[in-house]
Structure 1
Amino acid sequence: MVHTSIFNTKLYLEELAKGNGPSEIETLIFQGLELIHVGKGILRCKVLITDRVAGEDGNWQAGAIMAVMDAIGASAVYSSGDGLHSSVDLNSSFYSTAKIHEKVEVEARVEGTNGGLKSAVIEVRRESDAQIIATGRLWMAPLGLKLKDNGSNLSKL
């Protein structure tokens, strides 16, 4: 039986691929997403670079690459089964870029934990020649807001 977190991760990414993301930026970046594998703590997919995420020079924008690494890394962390997490740090290195109409392969793997923190490593490669475009390391903390009763209706934090 497929673990609930894997099932939910796959469902979430399939909806993104259809253009039904929870935010406009996710819809913009991930429309046409192609899932390759969703497992516990690992995710592989392909992303088509469109003119919506490229600059005037036709190159995939660094901000869009970072957004992809953050979202796919977070999805891999969620698929590992410990609930929702929030990004606290994302380090990246850029080696190349992709052009409009090129496909890239993105892989994210949960690599470690430190207390409640989880770490994922993300690689982005050009599909045509497997050249590395970017790598990243994402650290995420458990998302556990605690409500505080301070006698006021203005804030519950």
Structure 2
Amino acid sequence: MEDPNPCERAKKWLQSLQKIENMNKIDPREAPISLDSSNIYEGFVFRGLQIDQLQEGRALCTFKVPPRLVDGNGIWPARVIMSLVDNVCAAAIMTCDKPVKVSVDYNLSYFSTAKTHDEIEIDARVLGHKGGLSTVVVDMRNKITGQLVAQARQSMHNLGGLTVTPRSKM
């Protein structure tokens, strides 16, 4: 069986992030990804992400902010936005037939709030690749008003399968 194209791999990967909804419902024999706590968190955060378009160098998604992901004031918090941005950036890189990478630089600017039931467009575009480094820019906009909610610029590096342990200089 032939490997799916890069956009199809990115789509399947993003869909796999949505599958772990509740620890009590998980059958380890059927889990698409390992059952560590970060994957359970991703399933909780990503459930409901709609993949609108994947093409080389771009991932366009829509996310309706659910009540489970807002704070006590009904506002979509930064930590949730950052989780979505991180993984949608990785998917955009995957559409270029590049491996999923490790974030090495992450800049996120907030311009307005998003609240429960707001529909947000997430548009991730690869700016370029140099060596093992890839850079992506993401605009998150309210689909109804067009207002920019947040903008991110993220660089990810492919470590080539190597695990690097930083050494103390002390």
State yes or no: 1:46 paired with 2:62: yes
Go from structure 1 to structure 2 and tell me whether the alpha carbon gap of 1:3 and 1:94 turns closer, same or farther (over 3 Å shift): same
Q: Map residues 1-157 of structure 1 onto 2, 5 A cutoff.
A: 4-19=5-20, 22=33, 23-146=39-162
Answer whether contact 1:54 1:100 (CA < 8 A) is retained: yes
Identity %: 31
Structure 1: unaligned runs, 5 residues or longer: 148-157
Of the structure 1 ranges 81-90 and 58-67, higher mean CA displacement relative to structure 2 is found in 81-90
Q: Give the drift of 1:14.
A: 2.7
Residue 12 of structure 1 deviates from its aligned partner by 1.8
| 8 Å Cα contact 1:47-1:104 kept in structure 2 | yes
- Alignment TM-score, normalising by the size of structure 1: 0.85
Query: Per-residue deviation at 1:18?
Result: 4.9
Structure 1: distance between partners of 2:16 and 2:59: 16
Structure 2 counterpart of 1:155: none
Quick one: which amino acid aligns to residue 81 of structure 2?
I
CA distance 1:73–1:40, shift in 2 (3 Å):
same
Instruction: State the distance in 2 between where 1:139 and 1:113 align.
Output: 9
Report if the CA contact (8 A) 1:41-1:109 is conserved: yes
Q: Does structure 2 conserve the Cα–Cα contact (< 8 Å) formed by 1:19 and 1:30? A: no
Instruction: Write the distance in 1 (CA, Å) between the matches of 2:112 and 2:162.
Output: 42
Structure 2 counterpart SS, 1:26: helix
Residue 111 of structure 1 and its aligned partner are, at CA, apart by 0.5
CA separation of 1:32 and 1:114: change in aligned 2, threshold 3 A:
same
Aligned positions, number: 147
Q: By how many angstroms is 1:138 displaced?
A: 0.6
Q: Distance in 1 between matches of 2:143 and 2:113?
A: 12
